[in-house]
Amino acid sequence: MRGARAYREDWRAQLFAAHLGPAWRPAPDDAVRRRLAGRTILVTGASSGIGRATALALGRAGAEVVGLARRTAELSSLQAELAALEVSSTMITCDLRDPGAVGSALGQLAGIEVDTVVSNAGLSIHRSVAASVDRSHDLQRSTGTNLLGPAQLITGLLPAMRTRGHGQVINIGSVSALVPTAGWSAYAATKAGFDAWLRAVAAEVRGDGIRVSSIHFPLVLTPMVAAPPRHRWALTADQAAAVVLATLVRHPRQLCPWWARIAATTGIWAPQMIEGAPRR
């Protein structure tokens, strides 16, 4: 599979092992195929970035892919690429900020036995709070995309999973949920809110055979981020997809870079070290 292969063959892979920790290593291709072949997996935000790379990697592993995103044209392109790989797929246009659209999507999914949800759709806005005085809609948009929409979608899919006695939900999160930084308040707050919601849900559904995982990614080079080349530690979308597939195989409850765990703990006990010196 290209995702896992790209992770291993890229010369930066050894740096990533030190940067993220051994738990982030890709799963062997044969293990991925054994675990995922024949499963129906829903990927939100499938039109680009991590979502698109994950959908293609899942298709190559033998899974049936259900893609959900706002942009119909990009979903059609993804479906055509999956069809070229002889992969069965379903594409659903849905804006997670719109509760009615999410309800309609759940109606379309009613006849599909979704085994797994990869909750990947996200909205990242870099703007200071001073520049947000007249932009309350930024927080509203972020809340709809990163918290309320995904929660509504997953809540609607859980009853069928509980009835079948198995299922898996993977949250594509961010280190920003653990280590909030200046300028990313809306993103950090909504990502942290969904992570907390999903961890509470995990405690309720674990006895029903449903596994829940959260991946707190560091910077990943996607169209949403558009990071400059100097970010040498950033992952590519294919490398992130390889981590997602490994999570589908190994079922960790949480993946987080070791340095983010230290920073999160420091932020609790010595917040001044994370926040920096106050302005005068």
Which residues, at least 6 apart from 43, have a Cβ–Cβ distance to it below 8 Å?
Answer: 51, 54, 55, 58, 65, 66, 67, 68, 118, 120
Asked if residues 218 and 240 have their Cβ atoms less than 8 Å apart, the reply is no
Asked if residues 75 and 101 have their Cβ atoms less than 8 Å apart, the reply is no
Find the helix or strand (DSSP H, E) in which 190 lies: helix 185-205
Q: Is 7 a catalytic residue?
A: no
Residue 166 one-letter amino acid: H
- Encode 107-155 in three state secondary structure: HHHCCCCCCEEEECCCCCCCCCCHHHCCCHHHHHHHHHHHHHHHHHHHH
- Token readout for 187 is 């993103």
Which listed residue (16, 24, 184, 187) is catalytic? 187
The rounded distance, in Å, linking the Cα atoms of 9 and 3 is: 10
Find the helix or strand (DSSP H, E) in which 167 lies: strand 167-174
Which residues, at least 6 apart from 163, have a Cβ–Cβ distance to it below 8 Å?
Answer: none
Residue 270, φ and ψ in degrees, nearest 5: -145, 65
Q: Which of 111, 109, 108, 137 is nearest to 125 (CA)?
A: 137
Q: Indicate which residues carry an active-site annotation.
A: 187
